[in-house]
Amino acid sequence: MQRALISGCLVWLVLSGLLWAGQPHSDSTVYAQRRAEMLATIDRMVAQTRQELDREHLGPAVRNAFAKVPRHELVPEALRRRAYFNEPLPIGFGQTISQPYIVAIMTELLELEAGDRVLEVGTGSGYQAAVLAEIVQQVYSIEIVPELAERARNDLARLGYTNIELRLGDGYFGWADASPFDGIVVTAAASHVPPPLVRQLKPGAKMIIPVGRSFFVQQLILVEKSEDNEVSSRLVMPVRFVPLTGRHGQQE
Amino acid sequence: MSGLASQAADGSRLQRPPYISLVMASAVALAYEIHLTRLFAIIQWHHFAYMVISLALLGYGFSGTVLALWRETFIRRIQHSYPACLGLFALSVPTCFLLAQSVSLHPEALLWRPDLYWRLLVIYLLLAVPFFFVALAVVILLTRFGMRAGSVYAADLVGAGLGSILIIVALFWFLPVSVLWALTILAALAALMALAELRSTNLPVAALAVFTLVLPLLVPSEHAGLKISPFKTLPQTMTVSGAQLLGTRSSPLGLISIVGNPVVPFRYAPDLSLNAQVGPPDQIGVFIDGDRFSPINAWSGDPGETAWLNASTSALAYHLVAPRRILISGAGGGSEVLRALGAFIDGLSTPHLDVLESNMQIAGLVKDDFAAFSGDIYRRAGVHVHHREPREWLARNIRHYDLITFPAQGGPGGSGGLSALGENYEFTVEAFVQYLESLTDQGFLSLTSWLQLPPRDTLKVFATAVTALKQVGVEEVADRLIVIRGWQTATLLVKGSAVSPAEIDGVRAFCQQHGFDLVFYKGMAAREANRINRLRRPEYHEGTVALAGPAFDDFIARYKFDIAPATDDRPYFFQFFRWRSLPEFLTLRGSGGLGLLESGFVLLLATLVQAMVLALLFVLLPLIVGGRRSKTRRAPWRGRVVAYFSLLGLAFMFIEIAFIQKFVLFLHHPVYSVTTVLAGFLVFAGAGSASAARLNEAAGRTALPVVVAGIALLGLSYLALAPFFQAFFSGFELPVRIVMALCLLAPLAFLMGIPFPLGVMRLAGHEPQAVPWAWAVNGSASVISAVLATVLAMHLGFTTVVLSALIMYVLCVTVAPPAGTAKREGPDCEA
C-alpha cells in the first residue's frame, strides 16, 4: 500500500513536470489558435464590407502578418486574454489599440509590397508597426509619449523585429532623412494632414488616417498622391451600413 | 431601555422643526447636485454625468422607502436620527465623489464590455449615498411634523433655491475642487446646527461633523484632486514632452486649462487643405473641461502668417465677397478673427468685426494674458468683442452684415452623440431666419460642419437653411445655397440674394486651388461632385440636391438619421437618433458599427429604463415587506398615494425642466437659465408650500381644484404668450430679463408648491404611516420625470411636455387623498 502511494506520487510529479515543461508550447498553440480565429473574424468582416473597402478579401501578405504577430505580447498584461478579441483595447496614457479588423484594413488599403519603406506616426503599442514589419522591408515609427515609445521599443526588440526603427519625437515633420515613403500610417490624433508628411509621400503612394473617438474609428481617410504629385483622398467607412432606403438611396 | 424611552419622550416633545439646519442641508444638497454635473463633465463627459447623477438622485426615493420600513425607529429617535443623517450626508459628500471618480470606467467601453457594468453600478451606489442621507433627513421631518408639512417642505425648497444661486456664484470664484470642500464644510455645519436646534447631545454625531470639518486638511493632496479620464484630450496632451499647464480659470461655463508646449507645439487646423504648403503657427491650447479645444495663434502682425487660414473650406466666403461688416460667433481663441484681419490687413480700410464669445474668460485670455502672443487681435481697430450669444446680439442690434460665420461644432467625426442631449438655439429654423434677416443683399451666412459617413451635420444644417429660406419667402431656395467640402469638413454658404454665375466661378476656382469638392450649387452637374475627396457614392451631393428640391420631406422621412431641422420648440440640433435604425446598429455591434450609434440619446434611454426599474423596486419594496408585517395588504389609500404623488412628481419636474430649457432662449445662456428657473421655481414653490396649511384650512375640499385650475390657466397662458415675451424682452439687458423671468415664474411656481404639502397633510391626518412612502413615490417619479421630459422634448417638443404636465395636474385632483378632519400634529400622528 505504501509502495503504491509512493509510486502514485512519483507518477503525479513526473506528469506535473511534463505538463509544466509543455506549458510554453501549449500557450503558443493556444495563442496561434486565437490568432487564427481572429483572422477568420477579420476575413468575415472584410467580406461583409467589400463594397465599402472596394476589395473582396485581404491580400496574402496582410493575412500572413496577422497570423504571425503575437498581439498578446503587445497589450497590457491584464488585457492579454482579450488580445485576440476583435475589439479596441486601452494601452495606457489615454491611448488605445484599434480593433484588429481596423488595423487589417488600414494596412490593406496601403497596398504595400515586400521591398517598401513605410512611416508610422504614433507607435502606441507597436502592434501596427509589427504588422507592417512582417510585410515590408523597413518600418520607421515615431511616438510622442516617452513611456509608450520606451515600452514599444523594448517589446518589439524582444519579439525580434530588426526592421523597425523607432524614435521618440514629434511626428508632424515626419522622418525627412528616410523619406520618401511608399506608405504612411498616421495613427496619432492629428487635426489636419501635416504638409511635411504629404511631401514625404512617394508619387503613387498612399497615407491612411483613422478618424473617430477613442474607441471607435468612424472613418478612414486614404490620402493618395498620384504619379504627377496631385493629392486626393478617399473617405472609407469601415462598417457595412446602408445609409438610405428607398428610391433616394439607390441601394437595397 | 430607559434610554430609548427617554429618547422617545424627547422626540415627542419637539414642537418646532429644525428649520435652519434643514435650509442649510437642502441648499448644500442642490448645490452639490448641480456641482456633480460640473465635476463629472470635467472628469468624464457631460452625457455620462447626466446619466450617473440622474440615477444617483434615486437616493431621494430610496430614503422614503427606508423610512416607510423603519419609520418608528427613526421618528422616535429623531434627535439622533436627523442630525446623524446630516452628519453622514456631510461625510459622504466628498468621500463618495472621490471614491466614485477613482473607479476606472470609460462609458463607451460599456457598449461592448458588459462585464464592466458592475463598475457603473458602484458609481451609481456611491453617488446615491449623499442624496439618500439628506433626503432621509427631510422625510424624517416631513413625517414627524406631518401637519406642518407645508412649512417643512417650504424650508426644503427655499434652501434648495438658495443652493442653486450659491453654487453658480461659487463657481465664478473658486476652482471646482475647492467648491466641493466648501460644500462639505457647509454640510458639516448643518449637522452641528441640527444638534443645536434639537438640543441633542449626541457625541458621535458631533464628532463626525467635526471630523468632516477638518477632512479637507486630512485627505492627501494626491487623492483630493480631480482625476480626469485619460481618454480626454487634456490628459493626453499633458503626456507629450514639453507640455506645460500655464494656468486654469473656473466658471460655471467650464473649467479652462491653458497649455503651452515649446517642444511640440499645438498645430490645430482642422479643415486645412491637403494641398496646403504650410501648417499653422505656434499655438497656445485652451481646453474647456479637459476636452473642448480652441487654439490661440501666434501672430506678429504679418499678413503672410495668416495664409494657412485661407486654405480651409471655411475661408470660402472671403474669396467671394470683400465683407466690410462681419459677425463672428463662437470666436474662442480667435482663429476666425485672425482670418478676417489677415484678409484685410493690406487693404485700404479696416473691416468692422463684431466678435461674439460668451465665455468672457476665454476672450480675456486672448485680450489680456496672451495679447502679445496673439498679436493683440481682440484690441485691433475695428474689432469689437461682445460676451453675447448670436441671437441675443442680433435682437439687440439691428445691423446688417456682409458675413456671419459659425465654426464647426463638436469634434472630428461629427458633433452628434455627445452633444445630443444639449439644447441649442443657435441652429434652429427660427435662428436661421434671424441670421438671414441680418444679412446684406450680397452678404453670406457661413456654417462649417464636420464630415461624417453617413452624412449628418451637414445635411441637417442644409435642411435648416432651406426651411428658413422658405420661411422668409424665398421661392427659389437653391439660388441662395453653396456647399463645398474638404477631406474633413464641409462649409455651407447661404446668400442674402441669388448667387451669381461669377460667384459660382469663384467657388470652382477656390475648390480647384485647394483640392476641395463642390457639393451643391443650383444647377450643378452630378459629374462635378465627388472628384478629389472621394466617397463611395456622392452622398453629400445627392442629399443636398434632394433637400433643395421637392423631395425635401420625403428624403428626411426616409433618412436613417434624424436630419429634420431643429426648431425653438425642439431645439436638439445634435440629436440624430432614429428608432428604426436601432436594429441595424445592434447587428453591427460586433463589427465596430456602434460608432455610428448616436450614443447620447441611447444613454438617455438607458438612464430612463434603469430609473424606472429602480423606482418601481423602491415603491414596491415597502409594500412587499410591509405587507408581510401587517395584514393591510390591500389598504385602499395605496392606489391613491401612488397615483397622486407620482403624478405630482412627474408634472412638477416636466414643467421645471421645460422652463429651464425654454428660458435658455430668453436668458441666452444655460447657466443663467438653470440658476434663474431653479432658484425661482424652488423659492416661489416654497412660498406656496408655506401657505398650504392656511389654504387647506380656509378652502378645505376646494383648495386643490382651485390651485390646479390656476396652474392650468397660467401654464396655457405661458404657452400662448411665450413667443411674445421672447420677442419683447430679448432686447433688454440681462438683469432686466432675469427679473422678468422671475416675475413670469412666480405665480405658477407658487401654485405648484401647494399640492404636495396638501397631499402630505391629508395623509398625515388619515394615514400617517403612508407619508414616507408618498415621499418615495414622489422622489422616484421626479427622477423619471426629469429624464422622460428630455426624451419627450426631443421627440415631440416642449409644448407637448408642458401640456402633458398640465393634464397630469388635472388628473391629480381626481386621485387626491381625501380631505377631512385631520389629526393635529404630535406624537399621535406617529402611530
The ipTM, to two decimals, is: 0.80
pLDDT tens for B76-108 read 899 999 999 999 999 999 999 999 998 877 777
- Cα–Cα distance, A118 to A201 (Å, whole number): 10
Nearest to B592 among A95, A217, A246 (CB): A217
* Pairing assessment for the beta strands A217-225 and A201-212 based on DSSP bridges: antiparallel
The mean pLDDT of B663-679, rounded to a whole number, is 84
What residues in A contact B112, CB-CB < 8 Å?
A: 87
Is the pLDDT higher at B730 or at B716?
Answer: B716
DSSP string, B309-320: GGSBGGGHHHHH
Overall residue count recorded for chain A in this entry: 252
Query: Which cell is B138 given?
Result: 427631510
Question: Do residues B197 and B255 make contact, with C-beta atoms less than 8 angstroms apart?
Answer: no
- Cα–Cα distance, B540 to A116 (Å, whole number): 36
Question: Do residues B583 and B597 make contact, with C-beta atoms less than 8 angstroms apart?
Answer: no
- Assess B109–A contact: CB distance below 8 Å, yes or no: yes
Asked if A215's CB is within 8 angstroms of B108's CB, the reply is yes
Output the CA angle B36-B39-B45, nearest 5 degrees.
Answer: 105
Residue B616's pLDDT is what?
85
pLDDT tens for A16-66 read 554 444 444 456 788 889 999 999 999 998 888 888 888 889 999 999 999
The mean pLDDT of A135-164, rounded to a whole number, is 95
The mean pLDDT of A207-218, rounded to a whole number, is 77
Tell me, rounded to whole angstroms, the distance of Cα B512 from its chain centroid.
Answer: 42
DSSP state of B368: I
Mapped onto helix, strand or coil, the DSSP state of residue B260 is strand
Tell me, rounded to whole angstroms, the distance of Cα B322 from its chain centroid.
Answer: 39
Asked if A219's CB is within 8 angstroms of B270's CB, the reply is no
Mapped onto helix, strand or coil, the DSSP state of residue B81 is helix
Is the pLDDT higher at B623 or at B292?
Answer: B292
* One-letter amino acid for residue B21 of the chain: S
Largest CA distance in chain B: 98
Mapped onto helix, strand or coil, the DSSP state of residue B330 is coil
Determine the number of helices (DSSP H) and then strands (DSSP E) in chain B: 31, 13
Query: Which cell is B820 given?
Result: 377631512
Measure in Å the smallest separation between the Cα of B269 and chain A Cα atoms: 6
Question: Do residues B829 and B823 make contact, with C-beta atoms less than 8 angstroms apart?
Answer: yes
Whether residue B6 is predicted with pLDDT greater than 70 in this model: the reply is no
Ranked by mean pLDDT, the top range of B285-289, B493-497, B637-641 is B493-497
From B193, B207, B65, select the one nearest B139 (Cα to Cα). Answer: B65
The mean pLDDT of B804-823, rounded to a whole number, is 82
The mean pLDDT of B624-636, rounded to a whole number, is 58
- Cα–Cα distance, B487 to A210 (Å, whole number): 12
Confidence class of residue B24 from pLDDT cuts 50, 70 and 90?
very high
Interface of B with A in 301-340 (CB under 8 A): none
- Cα–Cα distance, B488 to B476 (Å, whole number): 29
Q: What percent of chain B has pLDDT over 90?
A: 49
- Assess B540–A contact: CB distance below 8 Å, yes or no: no
From B597, B561, B778, B811, select the one nearest B63 (Cα to Cα). Answer: B778
Residue A93's pLDDT is what?
85
Question: Do residues B444 and B544 make contact, with C-beta atoms less than 8 angstroms apart?
Answer: no
pLDDT tens for B246-293 read 999 988 888 899 999 988 888 888 888 988 888 889 999 999 888 888
Residue with cell 442641508: B25
Q: Which residues are B285's β-sheet partners?
A: B259, B295
Question: Do residues B567 and B797 make contact, with C-beta atoms less than 8 angstroms apart?
Answer: yes
Residue B7's pLDDT is what?
40
Torsion over CA: A166, A171, A175, A181 (sign):
positive
* One-letter amino acid for residue B741 of the chain: A
DSSP state of B252: T
pLDDT tens for A79-98 read 888 899 988 888 888 888 88
The mean pLDDT of B38-44, rounded to a whole number, is 86
For chain A, the average pLDDT equals: 84
Output the CA angle B489-B490-B496, nearest 5 degrees.
Answer: 145
Residue B322's pLDDT is what?
86
What residues in B contact A101, CB-CB < 8 Å?
A: 591-592
Lowest mean pLDDT among A38-42, B1-5, B180-184: B1-5
- Assess A240–B contact: CB distance below 8 Å, yes or no: yes
- Cα–Cα distance, B502 to B505 (Å, whole number): 5
Tell me, rounded to whole angstroms, the distance of Cα B498 from its chain centroid.
Answer: 39
pLDDT tens for A167-183 read 998 888 999 999 999 99
The mean pLDDT of A120-126, rounded to a whole number, is 93
Query: Which cell is B239 given?
Result: 503626456
Asked if B275's CB is within 8 angstroms of A250's CB, the reply is no
- Among the listed residues A7, A28, A98, A141, the single catalytic one is A98
- Assess B243–A contact: CB distance below 8 Å, yes or no: no
Question: Do residues B54 and B783 make contact, with C-beta atoms less than 8 angstroms apart?
Answer: yes
* Pairing assessment for the beta strands A95-97 and A117-121 based on DSSP bridges: unpaired
Whether residue B491 is predicted with pLDDT greater than 60 in this model: the reply is yes
In the annotation, is A226 catalytic? no
Cα dist from B134 to B130, B153, B719, whole Å: 6, 13, 35
Sequence-ordered list of residues with C-beta below 8 angstroms from that of B685, at least 6 positions apart, any chain: B157, B652, B749, B750, B752, B753
The mean pLDDT of B161-179, rounded to a whole number, is 90
Q: In the Cβ-directed half-sphere of B540, how many Cα atoms lie within 13 Å?
A: 34
Q: Assess whether the previous peptide bond of A90 is cis (omega < 30° from 0).
A: no
Residue B124's pLDDT is what?
85
From B593, B600, B117, B583, select the one nearest A86 (Cα to Cα). Answer: B593
Q: What percent of chain A has pLDDT over 70?
A: 81
Nearest to B451 among A102, A231, A235 (CB): A235
- Cα–Cα distance, A16 to B754 (Å, whole number): 77
* Pairing assessment for the beta strands A138-143 and A89-92 based on DSSP bridges: unpaired
The mean pLDDT of A195-201, rounded to a whole number, is 93
From A85, A62, A68, A75, select the one nearest A32 (Cα to Cα). Answer: A68
Ranked by mean pLDDT, the top range of A1-10, B461-470, B811-820 is B461-470
Residue B346's pLDDT is what?
55
Question: Do residues B191 and B208 make contact, with C-beta atoms less than 8 angstroms apart?
Answer: yes
- Assess B291–A contact: CB distance below 8 Å, yes or no: no
- Assess A37–B contact: CB distance below 8 Å, yes or no: no
Give me the phi and psi of A152, to 5 degrees please: -65, -40
